[in-house]
Amino acid sequence: MTLGAATGLIRNLAGVGNAFLDLVYPPSCLVCRKAVAGHGAICAECWRDIAFIERPYCERLGTPFERDLAQPGLISLEAAANPPAFGRARAVARYDSDKARALAHRLKYYDPLELAEPIGRCMARAGAELLADADVIVPIPLHRLRLLARRFNQSAALAQAISRESAVPAEMMALERVKPTAPQVGLTRAQRAANLSGAFRVAPEHADAIMGRNVVLVDDVLTTGATANAATRALLRAGAARVDLLVFARAVTSA
């Protein structure tokens, strides 16, 4: 059999396999589960209801401005008053969107294998300018006890998907969560920071992958930024040249 014939046969078999999968598991919307044309898609109704973040937005925090101020490079009052440890943050959607929150919830607790790839592709597009400057992608880690209970880390799954889409290598084990932390819900900004103090470190055997590198830190959701700031500081202490942040959804306050 020639190479061309073998390639054609493989494609035909793949097509049959995909058709069989579509028959057994019909494509459905990632959000509402209604029928759609292909796997990994969002129906038109849900797409309209996801509050995607687009410019104009704060160049540091990625929070959208309510109106176009026609001045590139502006930062928000929040970024000026409480500058984050990371350089820039970018997000696909607002977390106050019911559809985006539902996707984030499903990714974290139910369907990481199904959702990580399409969400990761969206994140790669939203964070294209960060990834263009990046040397390495690093996910926010879970503590080993949390990982044992949950059995997966959604941030790691997203980092792998973003790496495949962008061709920026991912260092999945570079950052460690060495301190189990209490839930952040209900804590003040200061309490959150104290809760996460000393929670992260760069593993010594992976230090060379961070030293002098531009890092894109990946997480699923950004709320107060306490976790991202704590992880960023650990990366900077290990010698990272720059740390930017890429998430799927972020909480939005007035900018």
For 54-77, what is each residue's pLDDT tens digit? Answer: 989 999 999 999 877 657 778 999
**Mean confidence (pLDDT) of the chain:** 86
Q: Do 130 and 22 fall within a single domain?
A: no
Q: Where are the beta strands (DSSP E) in the chain?
A: 89-94, 136-139, 175-177, 200-202, 214-222, 242-250
Q: State the pLDDT confidence band at 192, using cuts at 50, 70 and 90.
A: confident
Q: Do residues 36 and 72 both lie within one domain?
A: no
Same domain? For 42 and 164 the reply is: no
Residue 54 lies in a domain: no
Q: How many domains, in total, are found in the chain?
A: 2
Contact 153, 147 (CB under 8 A): yes
Residues 75, 119 share a domain: yes
**Which domain covers residue 233, as residue numbers?**
59-250
Question: What mean pLDDT comes out for the span 194-200?
Answer: 85
Assess whether 75 and 99 both reside in one domain: yes
Considering the domain architecture, whether residues 16 and 124 belong to the same structural domain is answered as no
pLDDT at 145 > cutoff 60: yes
* Same domain? 115 vs 14: no
Is 206 in contact with 174 (CB distance < 8 Å)? yes
Q: Are residues 33 and 78 in the same domain?
A: no
What is the reported pLDDT for 21? 45
| CATH number assigned to the domain comprising residue 177 | 3.40.50
Q: Which pLDDT value is given to residue 19?
A: 44
Same domain, residue pair 242 and 137: yes
- Shared-domain flag, residues 231 and 110: yes
H or E stretch at 169: none
Residue 255 lies in a domain: no
